Amino acid sequence: VIHVGPVGSGEVAKICNNLIAGVAMVAVSEAFRIAEGFGVDPKILTQVISKSSGNTWAMEHGHPVPGLVPTAPSNRDYAPGFMTDLMCKDLGLAVSAARQLRVPVFVASAAQELLRLASSHGLGRKDFSAVYAFLKPSSREAPV
């Protein structure tokens, strides 16, 4: 247990941590879908990134690509460690807190919207790493 400060400080720390975790998982998922599209082996990309500046908890513990981290939810059909709906809620809390402080949070807002879309496509009760499954290339136009 880490004492963060006055009442409510722990909740702030939690939503800030989850902002980073949610954004990182979205970034990892997008990066691996791009690499996959260009034929880069996800196992080799994982080796490269794990030794580089892009390494994250999201890759080391909750890798969204099945078969790369044995304990990751992606190996259990994205059975939740932390549900997409809960991550979306926490990102919403972070975005709301930022608005109160007039702090711009463009990336957190985009990650929240992507997780909301994934949830609306049936992934809300899956682990938030299932955003990778949602990003599977399709005939729909990418919103870039």
Active-site option among 14, 51, 89, 136: 14
Q: What pLDDT, in 10s, does the model give residues 58-96?
A: 999 999 999 999 999 999 999 999 999 999 999 999 999
Q: With 0.85 as the threshold, say if the pTM is over it.
A: yes
Specify whether 89 is catalytic: no
Assigned domain for 3 exists: no
Per the listing, tokens 């979306």 go with 88
Assigned domain for 38 exists: yes
Assigned domain for 143 exists: no
Mean pLDDT of the chain: 95
Are the C-beta atoms of 127 and 84 separated by less than 8 Å?
A: yes
Assigned domain for 2 exists: no
State residue 24's pLDDT score. Answer: 99
Assigned domain for 141 exists: no
Torsion of Cα atoms, 31 then 143 then 22 then 54, to 10°: 20
Pairwise CA distance, residues 119 & 14, whole Å: 21
State residue 102's pLDDT score. Answer: 98
Assigned domain for 140 exists: no
Q: What pLDDT, in 10s, does the model give residues 94-124?
A: 999 999 999 999 999 999 999 999 999 999 9
The SS3 assignment for 110 reads helix
pLDDT at 144 over 80: no
Domain range for 88: 9-134
- The structural domain count of the chain equals 1
Assigned domain for 57 exists: yes
What is the percent of the chain where pLDDT is above 70?
Answer: 96
pLDDT at 139 over 60: no
- CATH classification of the domain holding 47: 1.10.1040.10
Q: How far is CA 26 from CA 5, 23, 84, 94, in A?
A: 30, 5, 11, 16
What mean pLDDT is predicted for residues 4-27?
A: 96
Assigned domain for 34 exists: yes
